[in-house]
Chain A
């Protein structure tokens, strides 16, 4: 199984597209990698595209929340984009509404949100 999710660095932003069914360690690895990379590059924004994710459970939800909080502490903004409607319905019924996480419908809207101020 894959052991790392690639992170792209573009001007002031870090871009991540999650295209695999993440096992728990892979999600935690992404959390660590993103945090180090924000600190190393001084990136001001992180965009995480989850449009290929067919499921977000409480573990992945927690990791997304952690990434959001950690980036905020490091003076960067995180936006999660592209959640599939079925995933959104399931998440809310599960009891998870991702408080504190910025979301946008797609990559273009997410970039717009990050580029503001």
Chain B
């Protein structure tokens, strides 16, 4: 699956969450996603970028524009070297929170994108990949 374009941006402060939202919006507009899909992607990215900062201790967001046959995909990856998630099943459940959030971040973000993949190793970090196709 060819990657047409990619970009990496760091998330180390709260302001970076805003920059991630703005960047995802910019890419989604360029790729001509509908307004609802743009909003879903931006919202999912906001939730996951905040998790990255609060629980992962900061990390990186990588954006990729993919092409698969006639469809285009926007992939956003969130990678940290934080403590990892011991129980992913539980973390994906609505209402689960180990911090100050509402417990909607992971499960909610998953519902807003087409593909959602999460890998986590305790003590090494977490990597979440979200993709939306059009």
Query: Given B18, B22, B104, which contacts A96 in the complex, CB threshold below 8 Å?
Result: B104
In the complex the two chains form, is B15's CB within 8 Å of A58's CB? no
**Nearest CB in chain B: distance from A63 CB, A:** 11
- In angstroms, Cα B34 to Cα A51, docked, is 18
In the complex the two chains form, is B22's CB within 8 Å of A21's CB? yes
Chain A 66-117 residues near chain B, CB threshold 8 A: 84-87, 89-91, 93-96
In the complex the two chains form, is B102's CB within 8 Å of A55's CB? no
Residues of A within 8 A of B42 (CB): 54-55
- In angstroms, Cα B40 to Cα A59, docked, is 15
State how many residues of chain B have any CB contact under 8 Å with chain A: 27
Describe A's contact surface by its main secondary structure. Answer: helix
Known: A57-B43, A58-B104, A90-B39. A21 touches B111 (CB 8 A): no
Residues of B within 8 A of A87 (CB): 39
In the complex the two chains form, is B25's CB within 8 Å of A23's CB? no
| A-B residue pair count with CB separations less than 8 angstroms | 74
- In angstroms, Cα B17 to Cα A59, docked, is 12
- In angstroms, Cα B108 to Cα A96, docked, is 9
- In angstroms, Cα B24 to Cα A21, docked, is 13
In the complex the two chains form, is A57's CB within 8 Å of B18's CB? no
State how many residues of chain A have any CB contact under 8 Å with chain B: 25
In the complex the two chains form, is B17's CB within 8 Å of A89's CB? no
**Nearest CB in chain B: distance from A56 CB, A:** 7
Query: Given A1, A85, A91, A93, which contacts B15 in the complex, CB threshold below 8 Å?
Result: A1
Query: Given B38, B40, B102, which contacts A93 in the complex, CB threshold below 8 Å?
Result: B40
- In angstroms, Cα B104 to Cα A55, docked, is 15
- In angstroms, Cα B35 to Cα A89, docked, is 11
Residues on B close to A: CB < 8 A? 14-15, 17-18, 21-22, 25, 35-36, 38-40, 42-43, 46-47, 50, 94, 101-102, 104-105, 107-109, 111-112
A-B contact pairs, 15 of them (CB 8 A): A21-B18, A21-B21, A22-B18, A24-B14, A55-B21, A55-B42, A57-B46, A84-B39, A89-B36, A89-B40, A95-B107, A95-B108, A95-B111, A96-B102, A96-B108
16 more A-B contacts (CB under 8 A) besides A56-B43, A61-B102, A89-B39? Answer: A21-B18, A21-B22, A54-B25, A54-B39, A55-B21, A57-B46, A57-B47, A58-B102, A85-B36, A86-B36, A90-B112, A93-B40, A94-B108, A94-B109, A94-B112, A96-B102
